[in-house]
A and B are shown apart, each in its own frame.
Chain A
Amino acid sequence: GENVEQHPSTLSVQEGDSAVIKCTYSDSASNYFPWYKQELGKRPQLIIDIRSNVGEKKDQRIAVTLNKTAKHFSLHITETQPEDSAVYFCAASKGSSASKIIFGSGTRLSIRP
């Protein structure tokens, strides 16, 4: 089955700098890659996703890139702000509504003022 590895487990960046979180997946049949943000004590919330027919997707200060050949995908946050502090999870799925989503172990991002 699918296995998703995520690095780093913790990340601390200066406010205004960029943050990058990297993930790899094992199942070449996976074609949908969502990213979730979870604030302390809250539920995970979808922040951006990408499908395998696209190499990059942007939404304001966040972007995701996908390298299907290497089975790598990454989350990039630019101009970080205090409200970006949270745990971020990458995930992979085969993309149909019936398919389960497998999550990485999470990255705790802290923004230093």
Chain B
Amino acid sequence: NAGVTQTPKFQVLKTGQSMTLQCAQDMNHNSMYWYRQDPGMGLRLIYYSASEGTTDKGEVPNGYNVSRLNKREFSLRLESAAPSQTSVYFCASRDEGGRGYTFGSGTRLTVV
């Protein structure tokens, strides 16, 4: 039982490049989330998916797209990376009892 798995762990992109961050959970959770964490800013919600087939914007969705590929997988795509997207990205899922998240180990992204 791996919980929430994110890939890659580290990535350096040039401005304008695109990439997809992958997230998968094996806990049979319906809800999945993408957050970014910047120093002094806490965790800000980018997008979330309450169930397979649905996605909704969070607090900071601009510059990102998501895909809920199936119940297990929720990917985050940067179409044209910008230095302002340098951050640590966390994927999370939430259990049916409504308790707090289980987080993945994070992706540290640097855009130069």
Contacts and interface: CB of A to CB of B under 8 A. Distances in A.
Interface residues of A, number: 27
Given A44-B43, A105-B41, A97 B29 contact: yes
A104 B42 CA distance: 6
A34 B102 CA distance: 12
A70 B75 CA distance: 39
A42 B104 CA distance: 10
Name A's interface SS: loop
A106 to B, nearest CB: 5
Contact of B98 (A32, A46, A102, A104): A32
Interface of B: 29-31, 33, 35, 40-45, 48, 50-51, 58-59, 90, 94-106
Given A43-B90, A105-B42, 14 more contacts: A9-B40, A43-B105, A46-B99, A46-B100, A46-B101, A89-B43, A97-B94, A98-B30, A98-B31, A98-B50, A98-B51, A102-B45, A103-B44, A104-B42
